Chain A
Amino acid sequence: MKTILRSHELSCPSCVNNIESSLNQAEGVTEATVHFATGRIEITHDADTIAADELQEMVQKTGYETTISKF
């Protein structure tokens, strides 16, 4: 399943790597891409292993507030 998170606060392109690798290392995540310009975070994951709100929590932990988006 694919979940789109949005963080409007990303202010330094270097934090993109940090969020990306945190997500990619999580169990159940197939692929995570963070787009700096738009603040869009695309995650392909197995919803049974890791739910959307857990992913949201992970991004929050890296220091950026984020929301789950409809598209």
Chain B
Amino acid sequence: MNQLEKMTHNIRNPTSRKKLLLILSGSLICIGWAAEVIWDSALLFNTFMIVSTLVAGLEIVRRAWQGLRNRHTNIELLVTIAATGGIVIGVYWEAAAVTFLFLLGGWLEARTMSNTRNTLRELINMAPDTATVLEDGNRREIPAREVEKGMLVLVKPGAKIPVDGVVKSGTTSVDESAITGEPIPAEKQSGAEVFAGTINKNGSIQVRAAKAGGDTTLAKIIQRVEEAQEEKAPTQRFIERFARWYTPGIVGLSIISYLWTWDLELALTLLVIGCPGALVISTPISVISGIGNAAKKGILIKGGDYLENAGKVSAVALDKTGTLTQGKPKVTEYIYLQREKVKADIGKSNPKKDEVSVVSATDLENGNIPDELVDLLYWAGIAESASEHPLAEAILSETPKSLHLPEPNYFTSHTGLGIEALHEGKQILVGSAKFLTHQGIFIGDSFTGQLDKLASNGHTTVLVARNNRLVGGIAISDPIRPEAREMIKRLRKNGINRIVMLTGDAGPAAHSIARDVEINEVYGGMLPDQKNDIIQNIQKEGENVAMIGDGINDAPALATADIGIAMGAAGTDVAIETADIALMSDKLMNIPQALKISKLTLRNIHQNVVIALVTVAALLAGVFMGSVHMAAGMLIHELSVMAVILNGMRLRWV
């Protein structure tokens, strides 16, 4: 590229053109001042100021003209009139300063705004442009959006995954922070779901494509975030109504004050401050920053409206299963009858002296499993391997891998009570204490005592008997998420005093979990529409309620609440659609975080509106008292716009 081409390119590119004009007009002003100070030459000073005004004014006039052609009176037109008027009445320095500051302000604001919009640009860039597809053993590189459902995509270590799909072969760990905001990589193997825009860390994998291009979860998130940022918050709508009258009002005021005082400079100064810049930008800048920052953490806030509502939340209602708990039943405790080892030469257990012991599953993770327990898991496993009950899965996943479970010869299920199986002539019974008692199995007092204790702590215990004799029991519960307690504490610390638990679970588990996480208002045995009623009652008591659930069976309550927050929304479109705030991961701490970001954003908007209004009031007062002239007016105006933008940008680091 030769010099001339480079120059024309620079002039055609808006950013470099603005920079060029800025440097030029700025230097002219400096030379003008130097001429004034060194040679005391008013002529040189005025000439340089006029030239500088023309240089900077060129861009402004061009845009004013463009606006006029589109039948818009814009701020550039006001500045053009003011600067022209300034030259006519001979205040050259003021005219030069006004045009220069206007350009400088615009340039700085564009740069900082661009910075604010960065978060989303990063997300968009997470999606790779091309994908390597495997067809009959051949590799072919195609644009990522053209990958079709069912195609096999190869993803090398270190590469970004180009589509949503399921791992067909290979194992690796994947950095899913673009989707979930979770920085710790997730382990993926055959059968695991992967998302476009996540990073394959260390293994080569083949992915069976499910969605590509604009249908991927990443694209949906980006689309959601953008819609959210574009949706106007109530404050913003109010401000925009105000701003629509502000500019014509100032122009009118300028004309009236000229007719009243015949002071042209006063009238022109009013025109300079006529742009409602800081005011119109006050709300959107906070909303963009707040929503953008939340999105980066895996918190999808669906719009300015919700941001304002979430900032006002005073009560929180939580679902239990899948929200406070992990939503997957797990074996937590074992009860077994310890065989007292009588002398080695006899080597036989003595059932008469059985002693009841309880051991928790976590204690066994690293230690040796006692023989009695292996026995318990073995017999329970044989019977459960034929069952499809949800608890069966929990029990079978605990069976040691070395233990081979044979198929039972006979199996029958007593619905709602338990199961019965036959293996090598031995009868196995697995079920509730009531079921076993009914089948004539003797359960001792100390064993029953342990059962009651476990039940009151929210466990469901499955008992196992072999050949009419009790072997032991397996206690199962849906474990609380480790950070649940801390999360509730944080909510209270953030000023939310009323925390309610709503659950479909009618048993003692609900109360035991509520006790553990320190929630004292519990509604158990709730159907979805009953949850809805509770939310409405709390609202009637004057609270702003946030409901937190898993998005599917809590849908009505999520919709009724002032703010519906859905958990673990990555990959489930329903949750993203129905909730006002969708948390992409299962990280509970994102709940207080989401409410905190909302609150801070709301506060930020209010601060910005105050900054803008105070500036306008101060400028108007200053102009009429005669202490603010054109240059100062423009400077203060541009400073207030910058102050508002910078204040909004603080939200990026919350």
**Chain A residues close to B by CB (< 8 Å):** 6, 8-15, 17-18, 21-22, 25, 35-40, 60-65, 69-71
B127 and A37 form a contact (CB under 8 A): no
Inter-chain contacts of B645 with A (CB < 8 A): 11
Most buried by A among B74, B214, B219: B74
User: Contacts A37-B230, A37-B287; is A14 near B114 (CB within 8 Å)?
Assistant: no
Interface SS of A by simple majority: loop
Q: Which chain B residue lies CB-closest to A63?
A: B14
Q: Which chain A residue lies CB-closest to B276?
A: A14
A18 and B13 form a contact (CB under 8 A): no
B15 and A65 form a contact (CB under 8 A): yes
Inter-chain contacts of B170 with A (CB < 8 A): none
Inter-chain contacts of B71 with A (CB < 8 A): 21
B124 and A70 form a contact (CB under 8 A): yes
Q: Please report the C-alpha to C-alpha distance between residue A63 and residue B219 in the assembled complex, in whole angstroms.
A: 29
User: Contacts A8-B117, A12-B106, A35-B230; is A62 near B66 (CB within 8 Å)?
Assistant: yes
B13 and A60 form a contact (CB under 8 A): yes
| Cβ contacts A to B, 20 pairs, < 8 Å | A8-B117, A8-B118, A11-B110, A11-B281, A12-B109, A13-B280, A14-B75, A18-B72, A18-B74, A37-B229, A38-B226, A38-B288, A40-B226, A60-B12, A60-B13, A60-B14, A64-B14, A69-B124, A70-B127, A71-B219
A9 and B15 form a contact (CB under 8 A): yes
B13 and A17 form a contact (CB under 8 A): no
User: B222 in the interface, Cβ–Cβ < 8 Å?
Assistant: yes
B281 and A8 form a contact (CB under 8 A): no
User: B129 in the interface, Cβ–Cβ < 8 Å?
Assistant: yes
Q: Please report the C-alpha to C-alpha distance between residue A34 and residue B277 in the assembled complex, in whole angstroms.
A: 18
B75 and A12 form a contact (CB under 8 A): yes
B114 and A9 form a contact (CB under 8 A): yes
A10 and B67 form a contact (CB under 8 A): no
Inter-chain contacts of B213 with A (CB < 8 A): 71
User: B59 in the interface, Cβ–Cβ < 8 Å?
Assistant: yes
A9 and B110 form a contact (CB under 8 A): yes
Q: Which chain A residue lies CB-closest to B285?
A: A37
Interface membership of chain B positions 56-67, coded 1 if the CB is closer than 8 angstroms to chain A and 0 otherwise: 000100010011
Interface residue ranges of B66-104 to A (CB < 8 Å):
66-67, 70-72, 74-75
A17 and B72 form a contact (CB under 8 A): yes
Q: Nearest chain A CB to B91's CB is how many angstroms away?
A: 25
Q: Which of B15, B70, B112, B120 is A22 in contact with, Cβ under 8 Å? A: B70
Q: Nearest chain A CB to B616's CB is how many angstroms away?
A: 16
Inter-chain contacts of B111 with A (CB < 8 A): 9
Most buried by B among A21, A38, A39: A38
User: B381 in the interface, Cβ–Cβ < 8 Å?
Assistant: no
Inter-chain contacts of B14 with A (CB < 8 A): 9, 60, 63-65
A11-B110, A65-B15, A71-B219 given; 11 more Cβ-contact pairs under 8 Å:
A10-B110, A10-B113, A11-B645, A13-B240, A14-B74, A18-B63, A21-B70, A21-B72, A37-B288, A38-B229, A39-B113
Q: Nearest chain A CB to B449's CB is how many angstroms away?
A: 63
A13 and B70 form a contact (CB under 8 A): no
Q: Which of B70, B109, B222 is A25 in contact with, Cβ under 8 Å? A: B70
Q: Please report the C-alpha to C-alpha distance between residue A6 and residue B298 in the assembled complex, in whole angstroms.
A: 23
Q: Which chain A residue lies CB-closest to B143?
A: A70
Q: Which of B74, B114, B127, B129 is A15 in contact with, Cβ under 8 Å? A: B74
Q: Please report the C-alpha to C-alpha distance between residue A8 and residue B125 in the assembled complex, in whole angstroms.
A: 14
Q: Please report the C-alpha to C-alpha distance between residue A13 and residue B612 in the assembled complex, in whole angstroms.
A: 15
User: B121 in the interface, Cβ–Cβ < 8 Å?
Assistant: yes
**Chain B residues close to A by CB (< 8 Å):** 12-15, 18, 59, 63, 66-67, 70-72, 74-75, 106, 109-114, 117-118, 120-121, 124, 127, 129, 145, 213-214, 219, 222-223, 226, 229-230, 240, 275, 277, 280-281, 284, 287-288, 645
Inter-chain contacts of B145 with A (CB < 8 A): 70
A40 and B222 form a contact (CB under 8 A): no
B124 and A9 form a contact (CB under 8 A): no
Most buried by B among A6, A22, A37, A39: A37
Inter-chain contacts of A11 with B (CB < 8 A): 106, 109-110, 112-113, 281, 645
Most buried by B among A13, A21, A63: A63
B114 and A8 form a contact (CB under 8 A): yes
User: Contacts A14-B74, A15-B74, A65-B14; is A8 near B226 (CB within 8 Å)?
Assistant: no
Q: Please report the C-alpha to C-alpha distance between residue A61 and residue B11 in the assembled complex, in whole angstroms.
A: 11
Q: Which of B12, B74, B117 is A39 in contact with, Cβ under 8 Å? A: B117
Q: Which of A13, A69, A71 is B284 in contact with, Cβ under 8 Å? A: A13
Q: Please report the C-alpha to C-alpha distance between residue A51 and residue B3 in the assembled complex, in whole angstroms.
A: 29
Q: Please report the C-alpha to C-alpha distance between residue A62 and residue B74 in the assembled complex, in whole angstroms.
A: 13
Q: Which chain A residue lies CB-closest to B291?
A: A37
Inter-chain contacts of A69 with B (CB < 8 A): 124
Q: Please report the C-alpha to C-alpha distance between residue A71 and residue B214 in the assembled complex, in whole angstroms.
A: 7
User: Contacts A8-B113, A70-B145; is A35 near B72 (CB within 8 Å)?
Assistant: no
Inter-chain contacts of A6 with B (CB < 8 A): 121
Q: Nearest chain A CB to B578's CB is how many angstroms away?
A: 23
Q: Which chain A residue lies CB-closest to B18?
A: A63
Most buried by B among A14, A22, A64: A14
Q: Nearest chain B CB to A35's CB is how many angstroms away?
A: 4
Inter-chain contacts of B70 with A (CB < 8 A): 17-18, 21-22, 25
Q: Nearest chain B CB to A27's CB is how many angstroms away?
A: 15
Q: Please report the C-alpha to C-alpha distance between residue A62 and residue B277 in the assembled complex, in whole angstroms.
A: 18
Q: Please report the C-alpha to C-alpha distance between residue A56 and residue B265 in the assembled complex, in whole angstroms.
A: 40
Q: Nearest chain B CB to A5's CB is how many angstroms away?
A: 13
User: Contacts A38-B229, A62-B66, A65-B15; is A9 near B113 (CB within 8 Å)?
Assistant: yes
User: Contacts A8-B121, A21-B70, A40-B226; is A62 near B63 (CB within 8 Å)?
Assistant: yes
Q: Which chain B residue lies CB-closest to A9?
A: B110
Inter-chain contacts of B112 with A (CB < 8 A): 11
B66 and A18 form a contact (CB under 8 A): yes
Q: Nearest chain B CB to A15's CB is how many angstroms away?
A: 7
Q: Which chain A residue lies CB-closest to B109?
A: A11
Inter-chain contacts of B110 with A (CB < 8 A): 9-11, 64
Q: Please report the C-alpha to C-alpha distance between residue A60 and residue B9 in the assembled complex, in whole angstroms.
A: 12
Q: Please report the C-alpha to C-alpha distance between residue A11 and residue B438 in the assembled complex, in whole angstroms.
A: 77
Q: Please report the C-alpha to C-alpha distance between residue A39 and residue B230 in the assembled complex, in whole angstroms.
A: 9
Inter-chain contacts of B74 with A (CB < 8 A): 14-15, 17-18
Q: Please report the C-alpha to C-alpha distance between residue A9 and residue B117 in the assembled complex, in whole angstroms.
A: 9
A22 and B113 form a contact (CB under 8 A): no
B222 and A71 form a contact (CB under 8 A): yes
A70 and B129 form a contact (CB under 8 A): yes
B59 and A63 form a contact (CB under 8 A): yes
B127 and A38 form a contact (CB under 8 A): no
